[in-house]
Amino acid sequence: MIKRILVPTDFSEQARNAYEIAIAIARKTGAGIKLLHAVELPSGSGFNVTGDMSIQLNSMEGVYMLKLLEKTKADMAHLVDSFDHSGVHVVQQVEVNRPINQIRRTIKEDAVDLVVMGSKGSSGLDEFLIGSNTEKVVRTAECPVLTVKHREPNFEVKEIVLASDFKREIRHAVERFKTFQAMFGARMHLVYVNTPGAFESTSNISGKLEHIAEKYGLQNYTINVYNDVMEEDGILHFAEDIRADLIMMATHGRTGLAHLLSGSIAEDLVNHTNIPVLTFSIR
């Protein structure tokens, strides 16, 4: 069941697209939406993480920060009503904190069932050195995360790609994914990408995928083995071939050095595809 949807926003076009899609999902599920914006202050400022002031209000910094918070709250109020959300309960929250810290805190405190986030995507040096808040949420959130780039006014999902190596225990992820499939009455395409470095026969893999489908009680699905040079490329090419509306993946939630060395196919997909991606961490 999806009852609580969190939409972190930086007021970008992608974040607005995420809010619009969240409204469409809320209408299908009866869920409420929380719009969250976190104002990150420069180090050494006189504000603490709860937004209280401990500096002189007549200082230039104090005046600037008050004006910033007032403008942020006005922008949030404008965003709330920028799309028709009749019948959907929407609340807004502005906090003073690092965005990733506030998102994690809100997920836990509000028992969030789904995060819907916009993603600008990144590549090259920016992707390697920095990573986005969206990637960090994908990697660490304790609930499913839906990432979107483009506007989809009539968000409908008919064809879903479920991509995995199916070698790890993904039961909890599959149960969440089945909820999404049932919500839209969509067809699920299980796909295993066969690469030169880890090649298996099609009959072997097909048998494993059929076993997975039976084990987890899947319905309305297809079994697919797709050959490509790399897993990420294979998932993207397969999704494009079938004109998928959504890609679903379990992520292993690695952090630190392990993440730097291994990377994450799920995070790469979030960066590089225009198709919405639903991820769930199974770490």
Looking at every residue in the chain, the average pLDDT score rounds to 84
Q: Are residue 23 and residue 134 in the same domain, yes or no? A: yes
As a whole number, mean pLDDT of residues 118-123 equals: 68
Residue 80 included in any domain: yes
Residue 264 included in any domain: yes
pLDDT-wise least confident of 227-231, 246-250, 265-269: 265-269
Residue 133 included in any domain: yes
185-239 pLDDT, tens digit each: 999 999 999 988 888 899 999 999 999 899 999 999 999 999 999 888 999 999 9
Confidence of residue 47 (pLDDT cuts 50, 70, 90): low
Sign of CA dihedral 8, 13, 16, 18: negative
Q: Are residue 122 and residue 211 in the same domain, yes or no? A: no
Task: Decide which of 128, 148, 168 is a domain's last residue.
Answer: 148
Q: Are residue 125 and residue 236 in the same domain, yes or no? A: no
Q: Are residue 60 and residue 94 in the same domain, yes or no? A: yes
149-187 pLDDT, tens digit each: 999 888 999 999 999 877 766 778 888 899 999 999 999
Burial of residue 179 (number of CB atoms within 10 Å: 0-12, 13-18, 19+): middle
Task: Decide which of 148, 168, 201 is a domain's last residue.
Answer: 148
Question: In the β-sheet with 221-227, what is the strand arrangement from edge to edge?
Answer: 90-96, 32-39, 4-8, 114-118, 145-148, 277-281, 246-251, 159-163, 187-194, 221-227
Q: Are residue 168 and residue 133 in the same domain, yes or no? A: no
- How many Å apart are CA 231 and CA 253, to the nearest integer? 18
Residue 275 included in any domain: yes
Residue 28 included in any domain: yes
The pLDDT > 90 percentage for the chain reads: 51
Q: Are residue 170 and residue 276 in the same domain, yes or no? A: yes
Q: Are residue 92 and residue 170 in the same domain, yes or no? A: no
Residue 153 included in any domain: no
Q: Are residue 13 and residue 144 in the same domain, yes or no? A: yes
Q: Are residue 144 and residue 168 in the same domain, yes or no? A: no
In sequence order, the 6+-apart residues with CB closer than 8 A to the CB of 137 are: 8, 100, 103, 104, 115, 117, 145
Residue 168 included in any domain: yes
pLDDT-wise least confident of 137-141, 250-254, 265-269: 250-254
What total of structural domains would you count in the chain?
Answer: 2
Residue 154 included in any domain: no
- How many Å apart are CA 265 and CA 193, to the nearest integer? 12
Q: Are residue 163 and residue 114 in the same domain, yes or no? A: no
Q: Which domain CATH number covers 55?
A: 3.40.50.620
- How many Å apart are CA 115 and CA 8, to the nearest integer? 8
Task: Decide which of 124, 148, 172 is a domain's last residue.
Answer: 148
11 — alpha (psi -120 to 50), left (phi > 0) or beta?
left
Q: Are residue 138 and residue 171 in the same domain, yes or no? A: no
Domain coverage including residue 267: 159-281
Q: Are residue 133 and residue 182 in the same domain, yes or no? A: no
Q: Are strands 187-194 and 159-163 parallel, antiparallel or unpaired?
A: parallel
pLDDT in the model for residue 260: 38
